Amino acid sequence: MRTNTVEYTRAETPYFKLNLQDMSKNCETFTLVWLDTNVKKERDNNDMQKKLRAIISFLIIFEDFDQCQTYINKHDKSKENKLVLIVSGTYGLQIIEYVHALQSVKAIYVYCMDKIKHEQWAQKYEKIKAVVTTSSELIERIRDDQVVREQIEVSTMPIAIFNEKTHTNVDSENGNFMWLQLLIEVLLRMDQKENEQEELLQICEKTHADDQDQLQNIDEFRKFYSSNTALRCFVSSTASTDQLRRVLFEINIDPTINTKPYADISKKSYFKNEREVLFFLGSIFQIIDVRDDNGQVIIVLNLCSEQNHKFKELFEHLKSKIGEKTDLASFGSLLFQISDYERSEKYYNRLLMTLEHNEYSSRASCYQGLGVIAKRQGLYDIAIKHNEESLRLNLLLPNNYKNTAANYQSLAVAYEGKEDYVNALKHFNNAVDMLTLFNNYMALDVYCIFSKLSKCVICKLIFTQKILVKTIQT
C-alpha cells in the first residue's frame, strides 16, 4: 500500500524513476515538498512529518536536489496539484531561481539555522512566505497560511465566470460556465453503483495510509455514514473564523425565482454563532458590487435563476442530448469536449472494466471515444486500434449502420493523419456505403464525412464522384 510520504535519495535512483508517476496520484489540491540533505537525520523530523501531514496530507521528501527539481518540473507541466515547498538554507538560493516563476509553486518556506543570513536574499522573492529556524515556527506558519490558501485561492469546484459580452462564442471564456453546468447534469443523472462508496473509501485509505487520525475518520465514515449524517461530515472543520474573514460574501436571495437548491444549515454549522447557508453545486450568482471596508473585501452577489443566462437555449439543447440516464461514457465525452483528454481517457477505461462482455454497444462507444482522444493527440496507430475494436463490436449489432459508418469515418481520418490516403479513401467509401443502408440517410451525413478529407485532393475528387453516384441511386 502506498503511503502519502515519499522519500528519495541518490542511491535510490531506480526506485525514483519507477515511482515518479505514482507520486502524481495525489488526490488533494496541494502537495507539500520538503528538500533537505539532513531531512532523515534529524530526530524530531518524524514528528514534524506527522504534523505537516495534518496540514497538507500529501508530503514528498527529497534529499537530492536534482531529483527534487525533476519532480517539480514534471509536476508543473502536468498542471495538476499546487506545490508548497520547504527548503533548507543550503538548497534555498540554489532552487529558488528555478522554481519561483513556476505556476504550480504557490509558496516557499526556508527552514534554516541562520535566519539573518537567508532573509537577506529571501526578501527579494514574493513566494517566500517565511524564513524560520524552529520546527514549531515552521508548522505554525504553514498551518496559518494554508487555511487562507484553501479558503481563498482554491475551492472544491472552480468558479465559472459568465461574460455577457461574449455569450455568442461557446469557445470563449464562457465555455467553462456552460460545460460545468453540463457536467453537473451528467453527474445528477448517473446511476450509482453499489461498490462506489467503498471504492472511494479505499482511495482515501491509500491517500492517508500513514495518517492514523484520518484513517480513524474514514473508518467511522464507513461504519456510521447515512444520508442523515452527510451534512455533519461536510460542515466539520477546525479552521479559525478569524483566518477566513479577509473576504466576505454578501448574497441576496429572491425566494420567488427558480434557482438551484439552497438551505440554511446554521443549526448544523460547526461555527455555532454564525449563520451558514449551503448552496447547490453550480449555483449561478451575479456580481453586484465589490468594495473594501477597512481592509475587508466585501463581494455583493445575487443568486440568479437558471433561466436567465444567455446560454439557456444552447444549454437546453445539449442537455436534451445527454438523455435521462448517463454513465461514465457520457462523462468521458463531456471531458473530451472541454479538452480534458487525460481524465476523459481514464473514465472510458474505467467503464470498460465494469461492462459485461455482451454489452457490445457500450463497449463500442468507449473504444470509439478512446480512438477520438488518441487521434486528437496525434496517436494515429492507437486511434486505428481503438476504432477497429469499436467497429468489430458495432458489426455484431443488427442494423447498426450509422454507428458503423462513424467508425469507418474515424478510421479514414486516422489513416489520413498517417498520410495513408489509400486506406483513408477505402474507409471513407465504406462510411458512405454504410449510410446508404441507413433508413434515415441524409446528404448532410455524407457532407460531414466528405468535409473530413482535408489534405488529399485526389481523394477528394474520387470521393466527390462517389457521393454523386450514391445520391443519384437513392
The stretches of 128-169 forming alpha helices (DSSP H) are 135-148
- Which amino acid makes up residue 375? K
In a domain, 30, yes or no: yes
Same domain as 329, residue 296: no
User: Which has the minimum average pLDDT: 111-125, 174-188, 230-244, 268-282?
Assistant: 230-244
Taking the C-alpha atoms of residue 367 and residue 100, their distance in angstroms, rounded to an integer, is 42
- Which amino acid makes up residue 248? L
Same domain as 397, residue 326: yes
The residue-averaged pLDDT of 288-315 equals: 78
In a domain, 91, yes or no: yes
**Using one digit for the tens of pLDDT, what is the confidence trace for 25-60?**
566 778 899 999 887 666 667 788 888 888 888 888
In a domain, 315, yes or no: no
Same domain as 79, residue 52: yes
In a domain, 313, yes or no: no
- CATH code, domain carrying 421: 1.25.40.10
Half-sphere exposure of residue 265: CA atoms within 13 angstroms, side-chain side: 19
Q: Which three cell numbers stand for residue 249?
A: 460574501
Give the range of the structural domain holding residue 364, as residue numbers without chain letter. Answer: 322-473
Structural domain total, the chain: 3
In a domain, 308, yes or no: no
**Using one digit for the tens of pLDDT, what is the confidence trace for 165-220?**
544 444 445 556 677 777 787 777 777 777 778 888 888 888 777 677 788 888 88
**pTM score of the predicted model:** 0.57
Same domain as 343, residue 237: no
Closest C-alpha among 152, 147, 138, 156 to residue 52: 138
Same domain as 176, residue 83: no
Same domain as 285, residue 350: no
In a domain, 52, yes or no: yes
Whether the CB-CB separation of 252 and 300 falls below 8 Å is answered with yes
Closest C-alpha among 328, 315, 316 to residue 190: 328
